[in-house]
Amino acid sequence: LYSFCTLLDNPPETMSQLKAEVLLTTSNDERQPGYNMVDGDDKTFWSTTGMYPQEVLIGFKDATVTLNKIKTTSHAIKRLVVKASCETQPIKFKVLLDVEMGEKPTVGSLQSENFQVNDTVGGSIRFVKLVIQSGWEDFSTIHNLTFEGEVESEAPAPTPSNLTGPPAALPSRDS
């Protein structure tokens, strides 16, 4: 169980090829906000808060996409699982990658990984979830996260305000 999560209402414009937006993180430190992962700067980062697993929910601004490659720059991630959803809401995720990130990094060093993505979800991707299953240290960081692929179609931008549908109607007392 997670003690809290963060919805990012107004992340800055991103420099990722597919215009990825961080929609939710399961840990938060205002000094290292989630949108640092997609700002294109390896000097900024998002940090876990010392417990695993940790999750990051990514949406693709105004589009559905086909992914070819995911690039990560991180520190102290031991096992990473990447899942994707083709749904209009972030549900029914299917695993794209489940990887061990190599040997324990030295102090201050970054892990740079390029992952080829095979189409295992069977459709246009709207959301990606990164799950840091374990780390080499108490805290892990993601400094840069980019996605390469093709924009499939324009879609409403996935923002925290439209991640849920309208409330279900309650039955009236007359029925």
Position 104 scores a pLDDT of 81
Position 134 scores a pLDDT of 96
**CA separation for the pair 95, 84 (Å, rounded):** 6
pLDDT tens digits for 124-145? 999 999 999 999 999 999 999 9
Position 167 scores a pLDDT of 41
Q: Which residue, chain included where needed, has tokens 């420099």? A: 15
Please provide residue 171's backbone torsions phi and psi, each rounded to the nearest 5 degrees.
-65, 140
Position 154 scores a pLDDT of 72
Q: What is the value of pTM for the model shown?
A: 0.78
Residue-level pLDDT, tens digit, the chain, 175 residues: 333 344 444 444 333 368 899 999 999 888 999 999 999 898 999 999 879 999 999 998 778 898 989 999 999 999 999 999 999 999 999 999 999 987 888 888 899 999 998 866 777 999 999 999 999 999 999 999 999 988 888 755 555 555 554 444 444 444 4
